Amino acid sequence: MAKRARFVVAAAVVTLLLVLPLLLPGPVPLHIMIMTFNFALLGVGWNIMGGYAGMFSFGQAAFFGIGAYASSWLLTAHGVNPWLGLLVGGVLAAVTAAAIGWPCSKLRGHYFAIASIAFAEIVRIHFNNWKLVGAAEGLTIPMAEPGLLNFQFHGSKAPYYYIALAFLAVGLMVSRWVATSRAGFYFRAIKESHELAMVLGISFVRYRMLATMLAAFLSAAAGTFYAQYILYLDPESVIILPISVQVVLVSMLGGAGTIFGPVVGAAILVPISEITRVELGHRGTGVDMMVYGALIWLISVYQPRGVWGFLSSLGRRKAPAPTAAPAPEARP
């Protein structure tokens, strides 16, 4: 697709997203959009470690939960502003990712995936028994004066919509930076051949940890947003395996290793999940999973590069050119 055409399409999409709250009827479609943006952000985070660096984590819910709990506990226990809590939660999640990433740095493939599930389960059980943060009862965020400063809006969901959209935009910028930076280049080298990357002198421990920390920070930001949006959280709503699985599915369906893949994946999967939940209630439990299963089967058989990969290939005749390495630069 020509550069100009791409610009026109991008401008149209951005304009549509900005005016959408004015066009959508009622709060439910807006809620679906908000949840889509939030899962897209989680997917964008996962994509940095799973899509670019090849670390298939099924434990992103742990970082989502850490972010949600950090800002919520700081707010309820110490009155810390949730925006500051968001930063603290992000840093805490990144530090936790580094702490767990170091011993897991030599694990690959299935072993890494299993370790990530175990890690998330440990975090869930810990929070379920941690009285300081409300244990199994969770935390209820007190109502505050609505406004951007307090990160609370009572009259309409539209402000949450715009904040979620802004968060996603920041996530996409981080993802783009990773995709085009030398770090991203080395992420892909490690993903393609771990041993070869080592032989070339690439410190896989350093780059795997960097990918994990970036993913953790973005997941934690999504967690803080979720907590401020729902105003209640407990371990069973934020640190559970289905969330981690959905994050992986969002990225894989949309196109792992692409910048916009997780957004496309979230735009397909989250509405399915939310609509079946709203329309079918508890009777519909599992219907979304059946649909996910069918979609994943279709995409893995017919379009392994994901929906975004398929859409991109429609826009050009030839196979995509390899991502060029950025200009060589000095390293510390």
Partner 1 sequence: MLEFDRVSVGYKDLTVIHDVSFRVGEGEVVSLVGSNGAGKSTILRAIAGLLTPSRGEIRLRGQAIHRTPAYEIVKRRVAMVPEGRQLFGRLSVWDNLQMGAYTLRSKREIAESLKEVLALFPILEDRRDQRAETLSGGEQQQLAIARGLMSRPELLLLDEPSLGIMPKLVTEIFRTIREISKKGITVLLVEQNVFEALEVADRAYVLQTGRIVLEGPGAELQRSDLVRHAYLGSSGLAEAAGEEARP
What is the C-alpha separation between 140 and 45, in angstroms, rounded? 26
- 265: Cα separation from own chain's centroid: 11
Among 37, 160, 186, 226, binds partner 1 (CB under 8 A): 186
Non-local (6+) Cβ contacts of 58 within 8 A are: 113, 116, 117, 120, 241, 244, 245, 248
Is residue 320 within 8 A of residue 312, CB to CB? The reply is yes
Residue 243: CB atoms within 10 A of its CB come to: 21
Interface with partner 1, residue 103, by CB under 8 A: no
Interface with partner 1, residue 192, by CB under 8 A: yes
Shortest distance in whole angstroms from residue 319 CB to partner 1: 9
Measured CA distances, 60 to 55, 72, 154, 158, 198 (Å): 12, 18, 29, 27, 27
Interface with partner 1, residue 304, by CB under 8 A: no
At 183 the three-state DSSP class reads helix
Select the span of 70-78, 164-172, 184-192, 241-249 touching partner 1 (CB under 8 A): 184-192
Shortest distance in whole angstroms from residue 109 CB to partner 1: 18
Residue carrying the six token digits 């410190």 = 203
Interface with partner 1, residue 209, by CB under 8 A: no
Among 16, 77, 84, 325, binds partner 1 (CB under 8 A): 325
Interface with partner 1, residue 64, by CB under 8 A: no
Among 133, 189, 239, 263, binds partner 1 (CB under 8 A): 189
Select the span of 138-146, 164-172, 224-232, 317-325 touching partner 1 (CB under 8 A): 317-325
Residues that bind partner 1 (CB under 8 A): 185-186, 188-189, 192-193, 195-204, 321-325, 327-331
